[in-house]
Structure 1
Amino acid sequence: MENRYSKLFQPTYIGKLKIKNKISMAPMGPIGFADDNGAFNQRGQDYYVERAKGGVGLIITGICSVDLEVEDMTKPVIPCPTINPLAFIYAGTQMNERIHAYGAKIIMQLTGGLGRSAIPGFVGKHIAPSKQENRWEPAIIHREMTVEEIQEVINKFAIAASVAKAAGFDGVEVHAVHEGYLLDQFAISFFNKRTDDYGGSLENRLRFATEIVKAIKGVCGADYPVTLRYSLKSFMKGLRQGALPGEKFAEVGKDTAEGIAAAKLLAAAGYDALNVDAGTYDSWYWNHPPMYFKEGGMYREFGRILKHQVSVPIILAGRMDDPDMACAAIGDSCDIVSYGRPLLSDPDYPEKVRQGRLDEIRPCLSCHEGCLGRISHGPLCCAVNPEVGREKIYGIEPAKQKKNVLVIGGGLAGMEVARVCAIRGHNVTLCEKSDKLGGNLIPGSVPDFKINDKKLLAWYERQLELLQVMVKKNITMNKERIEIQGDEIVVVATGSQPIAGNFGNEREMITASEALLGTKPVGQKVLIIGGGLVGCETGLWLAQQGKDVTIVEMAPDIAGGPHGMPFMNYDMLKDELTYHQVEIYKSTQVSSVEKDLITLVTQDGEVKLLADTVIIAIGYRAENHLYKQINVDSKVPVYNIGDSRHVNNIMYAIWDAYEIAREL
């Protein structure tokens, strides 16, 4: 019987480069994968080899710098082939030999710089096509690049590509007329005000990018594949203002018509494929789609447009992790389907699709916590897969001594401990007091934009089933029952409970969980006390149902502000709340909740509001009573993990549980 997804596993070509299937690994920044010579370190090599082993046909690495001097990027946090070419070739050769052993091909993505998009502190010199403000810090002013600097970057692209070829890379990708990086800033008239050969007309604004491909072909040969990371449309309403999907707005960046014209010029210049998306750093959630895009495949319409306009292959990412969607896209909106974050959460995604084991694929949550959320303070990783970027040094190994392990609590932390312990060979019993596994993620996964959270719960249940973990539901454990059971290790993962707050008892108030689960009715006019992530996502979900929602937050900003969560998620959540007309009171306290009125104290004085329903979402407290009861005089080791140890997010519940379990 033919595989339902066999379309994905047919060979394809980029130029003369044959690729074994139509599945690609999308480029994601290899933060922390460079050694002092700018070469791929062992962690980076193992990371890419693991994806080749999982069945991808093509790997496109994350960005590698072609030059550290023009922007004074003195610290090689990402690989750079021009620092020490020989060292880079040595490391690249051994990595690529391993990748090729699995029949995969690998293309190295080369970046020419950040321009105005540079995060403050990443560069010593602030340059741009024209004088302008930094994307993140308006007080930082970027000067106009000189023609000599442009020519130096073009030359470094050619040198870097020649090093890549010598190291066994099957091609290079130019990064990027995409996402608002330096080359994209040159391409967009909103940012490029130059009057020389690199400004003005579209052809001039693309000259930087077209001269790069010609230079690379000049040193590597006409048949050496050069692809381009390319954003068709900017989705910019203004400086630092993105436009939501479906929103009517006037494009100030690159519109679709100009995007088509630019694509034709770039293909004619010699680019062998376009790796297509949309957005800029001013609409960053388009380039790195959060869960608030209700549906995946948000770039399909852009790929479909370009399929009819250029003859080179189209590579398309954008949450294409539904294999039915991916198959439908092949030939319609792309030639190669590309996966970034889904290959972090599960490097074996392609092989599991090929075998039809879809229920064993660990889903990406589109949370950005482990990948881009750590860009300024930690190496690339993944919230649901702690092994990412440390595959050979942090994997799961068999236990030297098999033990009986009791896990109390079936939330994420408890399920992860049970999973890892079972893989290591321990005999595991998981006890959950309710009739369902999942803990606080059960209500958290109710909004339709949290569908992948629901898939994660299903994945854990399937893993526990495959690993034959003894799961006991509707059982409340206490000190006596634990002693009677007599396990050799006890892990407490009893989670957390919503904080009720002290707002009086003149009217009934409900928790966000009760609202999400539908156990308490929610009226038309809703007031949510607490503008953290739970309050904001609950408010958005209710507003999308047509409710009139007001959120009250004590802090100066919602959801912890731009640094409280990955920025692209924060930015889109903020814009979605505005779009759905959610009223938000910041730096505001609730002074009283009466039967008919809620009184707020704002910076401008008192405000009195009416509400049919008041929802409390002011946080959670650790449910650690059981741990405190048994820890002091237990005759066996006792561990406290997840929210019952410290209330945090999904990533740290899983990471902490993984750490404990792999050492037991």
Structure 2
Amino acid sequence: TVGAKTEAWGVSDEDTPVGHVKEMPRELILEIVKSYGDAAKLCQECGFDMVQVHAAHGWLFSQFLSPVENKRTDEFGGSLENRARFLMMALDEVRKAVGPRFPIECRISGDDLTDAGLDMDACVEVAKLIEDKVDLFQVSCGNHEDPAMFCRTHPNAFFPRGVNVYLAANIKKHVSKPVACVGSLNDPAQMEEILRTGQADIVEIARGLVADPYLPSKALHDRADDITPCLRCYECFADTVTKESVKCSVNPTMGQQLDAKAGIPAAKQRKRVLIAGGGPAGMEAAITLAQRGHEVTLAEKSGKLGGNLHPAGAAFFKEDIRKLCRTLKNRVKRSGAAVVLNTEVTPEYVREFDPDTLIVAIGSNELRPPIKGMELPHVVMAIDAELHPEKLGKRVAIMGGGLVGGEAAIGFHHEGHEVSIIEMKPEVAMEVNSFYRGGLMPQIEKAAVSYVNTKVLEIVPEGVKVEKDGETFVIEADSVVCALGFRAPYAAVDALCAEVDESYIIGDCRNVGQIHHAINQGYYTALLV
């Protein structure tokens, strides 16, 4: 900031949607170089074991390396060696600050995967240029400036785990320093195979450790089946923007690590606890309550635990949710909690059971709005459609373009259906966090024709009669899927709670939410008993 005027500096002069960026003068580059050394020294003095210099993902060093972004004509532009000069000077300054025996890692791209960046061959040349200045390479890819590319840099559920490992393997062929790979890796068997086959020397984990900080220990002690899988939902990234913190859909202690370090506290008084409902909230509560020493009974009206994790995990790209469901079920089994299936908890059941504490986790009900034609035989509710896609005809119209409808469209398209989405809002999946949405929307666009700002008037034998921009027309469909949301069964919840002195309400029957709401409420409610 100069006086009252804020100036933006970058690799080269550029006009952007938010204003003009000025080319950094040499003096500012040297100031930043010195800052890297100061920062590295501070890290060393604070007790960190190593430092990483980030030169990928479209950040400043990556912009200097780019033959498109970098339009400079001085010693920092032109040839690749010139474009790498800023990075090399910063690495030299870091080494000068920390000394010869303190490890320096550099994160580089194996391929920027964009015309504005470096290809695989150029990335190899960058690695060669800086090899004598670093102790370890971490090889990533992509660019944070492109929302659709973000989900490849940090692979989402539409990519196989380990999709970027080949880039590390390519760099490793050309350098002698150790090479680390990254990219949504959390399966110990896969990671061992990467190391065994020489694709990388080290596997580095980020989101996987947010989901389960004990992943390495569980792998070491042959407990891979107890690793909490990262869902690749990007709730961790989203919270950094909305709250400047980090949360996790499947790890309720994320952000509360100081309390969690003390372990789950034992119950001051052992109680008989009845949990009504075996979805994610009920299972998490049962696991935590049992760990605390309570006598726990988990009653589920269906023939299996999991609740809405089953339809949520039905699509081809939802293996992570299926793994979560298996992990929670295994933990319930090991916890010692008594599980009663095919049993609906009613007020009479609660009265007869006579628990000290009741936890209600009975989930929510799908909304069946009074739309004319809802009773027609080709109308299928979303959960039924996701669990039994064989019920659907060739052409499918989905009423509701939220997360459920959008993801269902992708799954149905994968099964060979022709899909339309009907949504009253101006866009599909508007409630989804921006990081996940960036990768979701290209998939929806490939899978379905979306009719936004469109109102359902009536379901007819030929499909769905709608209104858009004052025009009425029929979207033809052999099957109509109702994905218009869920509603908590408050009357049923109140009737159960009225039977006991101490009760708690968790999960969708408290307020319809997402997996992270269910897991968090299950865990923290269990700590209150």
TM-score, with normalisation over the residues of structure 1? 0.75
SS of 1:184 mapped into structure 2: helix
Structure 1: how far apart are the matches of 2:69 and 2:381? Answer: 47
Structure 1: how far apart are the matches of 2:463 and 2:258? Answer: 59
Query: Which residue of structure 2 aligns with residue 191 of structure 1?
Result: 69
Query: Which residue of structure 1 aligns with residue 527 of structure 2?
Result: 662
Query: Which residue of structure 2 aligns with residue 5 of structure 1?
Result: none
Write out per-residue CA displacement over residues 41-81 of structure 1, whole angstroms, 9 at most, x where no aligned residue.
xxxxxxxxxxxxxxxxxxxxxxxxxxxx99x9xxxxxxxxx
Structure 1: how far apart are the matches of 2:194 and 2:463? Answer: 53
Return 324-333 or 216-225, whichever deviates more: 216-225
Write out per-residue CA displacement over residues 529-548 of structure 1, whole angstroms, 9 at most, x where no aligned residue.
11111111110111122321
Structure 1 residue 125, shift from structure 2 partner: 5.2
Amino acid at match of 2:407: E
**2:228 is the alignment partner of 1:358:** no
Write out per-residue CA displacement over residues 499-535 of structure 1, whole angstroms, 9 at most, x where no aligned residue.
1223322453112211111176112111111111111
1:332-351 → structure 2 map (5 Å cutoff): 332-351=198-217
Number of matched residues? 520
Amino acid at match of 1:143: K
Write out per-residue CA displacement over residues 165-194 of structure 1, whole angstroms, 9 at most, x where no aligned residue.
23332321102x211112211211232222
Retained in 2: the 8 A contact 1:413–1:653?
yes
Query: Which residue of structure 1 aligns with residue 379 of structure 2?
Result: 509
Amino acid at match of 1:266: I
Q: Where does structure 1 differ by over 6 angstroms across 4 or more consecutive aligned residues?
A: none
Query: Which residue of structure 2 aligns with residue 627 of structure 1?
Result: 493
SS of 2:413 mapped into structure 1: helix
Return 376-385 or 411-420, whichever deviates more: 376-385
Write out per-residue CA displacement over residues 143-172 of structure 1, whole angstroms, 9 at most, x where no aligned residue.
322221111110011111122223332321
**2:429 is the alignment partner of 1:555:** no
**2:250 is the alignment partner of 1:384:** yes
Q: Which runs of 5+ in 1 are unaligned?
A: 1-68, 73-123, 237-250
Structure 1: how far apart are the matches of 2:382 and 2:118? Answer: 41
For residues 507 and 474 of structure 1, do their structure 2 counterparts lie closer, same or farther at Cα, with a shift above 3 Å needed?
closer
Structure 2: how far apart are the matches of 1:131 and 1:502? Answer: 58
For residues 385 and 335 of structure 1, do their structure 2 counterparts lie closer, same or farther at Cα, with a shift above 3 Å needed?
same
444, 456, 468: which one aligns with 2:324: 456
SS of 2:317 mapped into structure 1: helix
**2:131 is the alignment partner of 1:267:** yes
429, 432, 443: which one aligns with 1:565: 432
Retained in 2: the 8 A contact 1:507–1:594?
no
Query: Which residue of structure 2 aligns with residue 327 of structure 1?
Result: 192
Query: Which residue of structure 2 aligns with residue 32 of structure 1?
Result: none
RMSD: 2.1
Structure 2: how far apart are the matches of 1:584 and 1:147? Answer: 50
Query: Which residue of structure 2 aligns with residue 218 of structure 1?
Result: 96
Amino acid at match of 1:523: G
Amino acid at match of 1:321: N
SS of 1:258 mapped into structure 2: helix
Query: Which residue of structure 1 aligns with residue 283 of structure 2?
Result: 415
122, 129, 137: which one aligns with 2:11: 129
Structure 1 residue 440, shift from structure 2 partner: 1.0
Structure 1 residue 272, shift from structure 2 partner: 1.9
For residues 606 and 196 of structure 1, do their structure 2 counterparts lie closer, same or farther at Cα, with a shift above 3 Å needed?
farther
Write out per-residue CA displacement over residues 204-224 of structure 1, whole angstroms, 9 at most, x where no aligned residue.
221111111111122322333
For residues 258 and 437 of structure 1, do their structure 2 counterparts lie closer, same or farther at Cα, with a shift above 3 Å needed?
same
SS of 2:139 mapped into structure 1: strand
For residues 229 and 622 of structure 1, do their structure 2 counterparts lie closer, same or farther at Cα, with a shift above 3 Å needed?
same
Query: Which residue of structure 1 aligns with residue 41 of structure 2?
Result: 162
Retained in 1: the 8 A contact 2:51–2:104?
yes
Structure 1 residue 359, shift from structure 2 partner: 1.5
Identity over aligned pairs, percent:
32
Structure 1 residue 592, shift from structure 2 partner: 2.2
Amino acid at match of 2:437: Y
Query: Which residue of structure 2 aligns with residue 174 of structure 1?
Result: 53
Amino acid at match of 2:391: P
SS of 1:429 mapped into structure 2: strand
Structure 1 residue 334, shift from structure 2 partner: 0.7
Query: Which residue of structure 1 aligns with residue 476 of structure 2?
Result: 610
For residues 140 and 435 of structure 1, do their structure 2 counterparts lie closer, same or farther at Cα, with a shift above 3 Å needed?
farther
For residues 307 and 407 of structure 1, do their structure 2 counterparts lie closer, same or farther at Cα, with a shift above 3 Å needed?
same
